[in-house]
Amino acid sequence: MYRCGSVHEFEPKLLANSEGQSLWWACYRGGRHARVVIEGQEAEVTHLTPLPSALGGSFFWLPVSTVCLIDDLVASIDCFAQSGPEADRVAAWNRAAQDLGAIVWFEFKIP
> In the chain, what are the domain boundaries?
4-100
**Per-residue pLDDT tens for 52-94?**
998 888 999 999 999 998 998 898 888 888 877 888 888 888 8
pTM of the entire predicted model: 0.66
Torsion, Cα 64 3 23 71, to 10 degrees, reads -10
pLDDT for res 63: 94
Q: What is the 3-state secondary structure (H, E, C) of 65-90?
A: EHHHHHHHHHHHHHHHHCCCCHHHHH
List Cβ neighbours of 38 (8 Å cut-off, separation of 6 or more): 26, 45, 51, 61, 63
Alpha-carbon distance values, 105 to 86, 87, 108 (Å):
33, 32, 9
In sequence order, the 6+-apart residues with CB closer than 8 A to the CB of 48 are 1, 62, 63, 64, 68
Q: What is the pLDDT of residues 7-32, one digit of tens each?
A: 555 555 678 888 889 988 888 999 99
pLDDT of the residue at 47? 95
Between the two ends of the chain, the Cα-to-Cα distance in Å is 18
pLDDT of residue 10: 52
